[in-house]
Structure 1
Amino acid sequence: MENTHHGESPSPDTPAPQQKNGKTDEQTIALTKARLAIDEVDAQIVELLKTRAQWVHEVGRIKKADNSPIFVPERETALLGKLNRLNAGVLPESSLQAIYREIISCSFFLEGGLTIAYLGPKGTWSHQAALKQFGKSCELIPCQSFKDVFDMVDRGKAQYGVVPIENSSEGSVTAVMDLFVTSSLKICAQINLNIRNSLMAAIPREHIRILYSHPQVLGQTRDWILRRYPNAELVETSSTTKASILAKENAAMGAASLGCPLAAELFGLNILEEDVQDQACNTTRFAVIGRQDTRPSGRDRTSLLIRIQHKPGTLAEVIDCFQRHGINLIRIESRPSKAINWEYVFHIDAVGHALESPLRETLEELEQHCSMLKILGSYADTDVV
C-alpha cells in the first residue's frame, strides 16, 4: 500500500494518534513543550527579580546615606510610563501596572519599608486606594477619622497618609479640605480610583428597610436609592466598612449597606446588586499626604490654598493673574477659614508645577494679592486607576 502524501487523507489502515484526556499525542507533546518554555521564562524572571532586588538594596543604602525618601512619586510616574511604552500594547496596561505595583511595593520593603495611614477599617475605598498606590508589601494602618490620618503622619507614626479629596459626582470631601488649612503636610501624589459601589446584605433584597453607608456614597447613589428603596431609612456611617458591619449585625432589622464590594467578602454579606452609583464614571481622587516636595514629572497639577485681601476686585485680580500667564485652573472653591467668622479661604488646583514656568512666576505675582498663599503640593496628574 502506498504511503500517504502531504495534503491527502490518511489511509484507513493508518492508526489514529493516541488520545489522553481528550488530547492527541501531538497536542500533549506541544502543550508540554510550551509549559517547559514558560517554566524556563519564569526561572529567568525570578533571577532578574533577584538581580533587581540587589540594585534596590543599593538604592536604599544611597537614600539612607543622604536621608532621601523611599517613595519618589515622580520617579514612579516616569517608570510606569516607560514600561507602557516598552509594552507597546501587548499586555493590558492595567495588568502590567498591577504586576509592577507589587514589584515596586516589594522594593519599598527592601529599602526599609513604608507605613501608610488610611481611613479604616479594611474594605473601605481608602483602603483600596492605599493598596493600589503602595501594594501589599507596605504596612497599611487603618484610622478612625481623617484627622487621625493627618495626625499619624504629622507625628511620624506613618510616612504617608491616603485621604479622599473629591468625587466626580459629589464634589470635594470638605472634612479633608478643611484639615489642610492648619496642617503643614503636603500632597505628594494623587490616586484616581474608579468607584463602583454595590448593594450588600445578609437578607433578601425585598426585606431591606435600612441602608447604611458613608455620606459620600449615599450622595453618589441618591437617584438609585429613590428608584429602588424610596422608603428606606438612610443611616450615615463613618466608613463604608462600618456600614457593612452594621448591615451584618442588624440583618434581622432589614439592614443592608452600600459601598466597596470587598466588604461583602470580609464580613460575609451577599452582593445583591453591583454598580449602583448614579454615574457610570464615578471617580474619587485621593491624595497621598506626607512631608516631602515632589519634583516635576512633565504633567503636573498644583494645589493651592489662598486667603485674599478684603478689597473690592481682589478675587478678580487673582483670576486675571492666572489668565495672563496662561495657567488653566482645574478647580476653585471657597471654604470657611474656621478662624474668623465670615472669612473664607480658596482651594485652587492649577495645571503645572510650582517650580516650573509659567506657574512659578504666577505664584510670585499672586503673593501681592493674597494675605496667605500656601502651596499644598505639586504632583503628577495621573489618570484613573
Structure 2
Amino acid sequence: MSDSPIDLDALRNRIDNLDSELLRLISERAECAQQVAQVKTAEDADAVFYRPEREAQVLRRIMALNKGPLDSEEVARLFREIMSACLALEQPIKVAYLGPEGTFTQQAALKHFGESAISLPMAAIDEVFREVEAGAVNYGVVPVENSTEGVINHTLDSFMDSSLSICGEVVLRIHHHLLVSETTRQDKVSRIYSHPQSFAQCRKWLDAHYPQAERVPVSSNAEAARLVKTEWHSAAIAGDMAAKLYGLTRLAEKIEDRPDNSTRFLIIGNQDVPMSGEDKTSIVVAMRNQPGALHDLLEPFHRHQIDMTRLETRPSRSGVWNYVFFIDFKGHRDEPRVAAVLEEVRLRAAEVKVLGSYPIGVL
C-alpha cells in the first residue's frame, strides 16, 4: 500500500506525456489538413473540401484498427471531432437542419458533421431543401424514418420536386425523457407538451403513468421544452439537447415504448458521392398503372441479388390512382450490377430518378 502514491504519480506523469504527444500529433494533422486545402484551392477555385466517401473510409479504418479498451464507436466519435475541427480550418461547413435549436435533427447533424460545423435551424423540411438548393448552406439534414412510427412523408415528398442528392445518412438512437422546470409542481402535472411523433413513440408509457394528463402536440420537442419553462403544471417530452438548452430536469428517463427506438436522417447536398466501399443507393420510381407492375419493378433486384433495405409507396401527383415507389438498396450506382439493375428498371418504369448513392452510416 505504501507504494501506491508513487505508482499513481508515475501513471499521472505518463498520462501527461501522452497528452503532450497527442497534442503534437493532432496539431500535425491539422497542419496537414491546411496543406490539403492549399493544394485543392490551387487546382480548383471551386474545390470541394468535404468528401463524404473519404470521411466514411477513415472512420471505418479507425474502427477496424481499434483494439480497445475504448469502444470502437466511441473512438470513431473522437476522430469525428478531430476531423470536424481540421475541416473547419480548411472551410467551415454550414448545415441547415429541421429546427428549432435543441431538436433531434440538430443532434443528428452534429453527430454526422461534428461540433465544428455551423448548424442553422429551419422552420420546416422544405426550407432545409431550399437553403441547400440556393447555396446558402453546404448541406441539409432531414429526418426520413423512425423505427417505431415509420416514414416521414414530408421528406419523401420534398424529393419529388428537388434536384438535390442524398450525400449520406445518420441513424440516431432516440431517447425521450419527461422534463420539468424548477417551478414545476411535480405531483400536479396535468399537461404534457411534445411533437406528435414523440407522443406516438411514448404512448404506452404515458397511458400507464399519466393517463389523465392533457397531451398537447407542438411543432417540435424543443418548443415543448421552451413552453414548460413558463408553466408550473406542465411537462415536456424531449431529448438531452432540449433539456440542456432550457435547463430542465428529467422527471423520468427513456420513456420510449421501444428500447431500440431510432430515427434515420438523410444528408442532402448538391454533389454526387463516389464509391466508399460500403454504400447505399436511393431511387424514386413511377410505374405504369398496370397488373404486375410491382413484380416487374422488384424482379431485377432479386435476380441480381441486390439487398433492398426499404420500399415506400406514395401517391403520384400526376394521376389520382398512380403511385411512386421510394426504394433504398445496398450498393453504389457506379457498380456494374447496380448499373445493370437501374437500366432494367428504367426500361420497365415510366420514370426513374436516382436520389443519390452515399456511404452507409458509420456512426
Query: Given the two structures, how large is their TM-score scaled by the length of structure 1?
Result: 0.89
Matched, 1:272 2:225: no
Q: Equivalent residues in 2 for 1:184-263 (5 A)?
A: 184-202=163-181, 203-249=184-230, 251-252=231-232, 254-263=233-242
- CA distance in structure 1 between the partners assigned to 2:65 and 2:203 by the alignment: 43
Matched, 1:115 2:94: yes
- CA distance in structure 2 between the partners assigned to 1:256 and 1:307 by the alignment: 45
Matched, 1:103 2:82: yes
- CA distance in structure 2 between the partners assigned to 1:357 and 1:227 by the alignment: 53
Partner of 2:150: 171
Structure 2 counterpart of 1:136, from 107, 115, 128: 115
- CA distance in structure 1 between the partners assigned to 2:248 and 2:32 by the alignment: 45
Q: Equivalent residues in 2 for 1:86-97 (5 A)?
A: 86-97=65-76
With 51-60 and 190-199 compared, the bigger mean Cα shift is at: 51-60
How far does residue 382 in structure 1 lie from its aligned partner after superposition?
A: 2.4
- CA distance in structure 1 between the partners assigned to 2:185 and 2:331 by the alignment: 51
Which amino acid counterpart does residue 59 of structure 1 have in structure 2?
Answer: V
- CA distance in structure 2 between the partners assigned to 1:122 and 1:84 by the alignment: 31
Per-residue CA deviation, residues 182-223 of structure 1 (Å, 9 max, x unaligned), is: 011111010011111101122244322222111211111112
How far does residue 91 in structure 1 lie from its aligned partner after superposition?
A: 2.0
Contact 2:59–2:80 (8 Å) recurs in 1: no
Secondary structure at the aligned position of 1:367 is classed as: helix
Contact 1:168–1:282 (8 Å) recurs in 2: yes
- CA distance in structure 1 between the partners assigned to 2:62 and 2:192 by the alignment: 43
- CA distance in structure 1 between the partners assigned to 2:279 and 2:187 by the alignment: 48
Q: Which structure has the bigger radius of gyration? A: 1
Contact 1:194–1:281 (8 Å) recurs in 2: yes
Partner of 1:306: 285
Partner of 1:27: 4
Per-residue CA deviation, residues 149-179 of structure 1 (Å, 9 max, x unaligned), is: 1111111111001111001111111111110
Matched, 1:353 2:358: no
- CA distance in structure 1 between the partners assigned to 2:316 and 2:143 by the alignment: 20
- CA distance in structure 1 between the partners assigned to 2:173 and 2:228 by the alignment: 24
Partner of 1:79: 58
Secondary structure at the aligned position of 1:353 is classed as: coil
Partner of 1:59: 36
Partner of 2:21: 44
Which amino acid counterpart does residue 50 of structure 1 have in structure 2?
Answer: S
- CA distance in structure 2 between the partners assigned to 1:287 and 1:158 by the alignment: 15
Structure 1: 5+ residue runs without aligned partners? Answer: 1-22
Secondary structure at the aligned position of 2:229 is classed as: helix
Which amino acid counterpart does residue 84 of structure 1 have in structure 2?
Answer: M
- CA distance in structure 1 between the partners assigned to 2:361 and 2:91 by the alignment: 26
Identity, in percent, stands at: 38
Secondary structure at the aligned position of 1:212 is classed as: strand
Per-residue CA deviation, residues 346-373 of structure 1 (Å, 9 max, x unaligned), is: 1111121111031110001111111211
Per-residue CA deviation, residues 252-291 of structure 1 (Å, 9 max, x unaligned), is: 3x22111112222221322101111110001111111101
Contact 1:261–1:271 (8 Å) recurs in 2: no
- CA distance in structure 2 between the partners assigned to 1:329 and 1:204 by the alignment: 50
Per-residue CA deviation, residues 288-330 of structure 1 (Å, 9 max, x unaligned), is: 1101111222222111111111222222111112112211221
How far does residue 339 in structure 1 lie from its aligned partner after superposition?
A: 4.2
- CA distance in structure 2 between the partners assigned to 1:305 and 1:88 by the alignment: 41
Secondary structure at the aligned position of 2:80 is classed as: helix
Structure 2: 5+ residue runs without aligned partners? Answer: none
- CA distance in structure 2 between the partners assigned to 1:80 and 1:328 by the alignment: 24
How far does residue 341 in structure 1 lie from its aligned partner after superposition?
A: 3.0
How far does residue 230 in structure 1 lie from its aligned partner after superposition?
A: 2.0
Secondary structure at the aligned position of 1:304 is classed as: strand
- CA distance in structure 2 between the partners assigned to 1:221 and 1:282 by the alignment: 10
Partner of 1:330: 309
- CA distance in structure 2 between the partners assigned to 1:328 and 1:99 by the alignment: 31
- CA distance in structure 2 between the partners assigned to 1:276 and 1:204 by the alignment: 20
Which amino acid counterpart does residue 101 of structure 1 have in structure 2?
Answer: R
- CA distance in structure 2 between the partners assigned to 1:232 and 1:338 by the alignment: 40
Partner of 2:361: 382
CA RMSD after TM alignment:
1.6
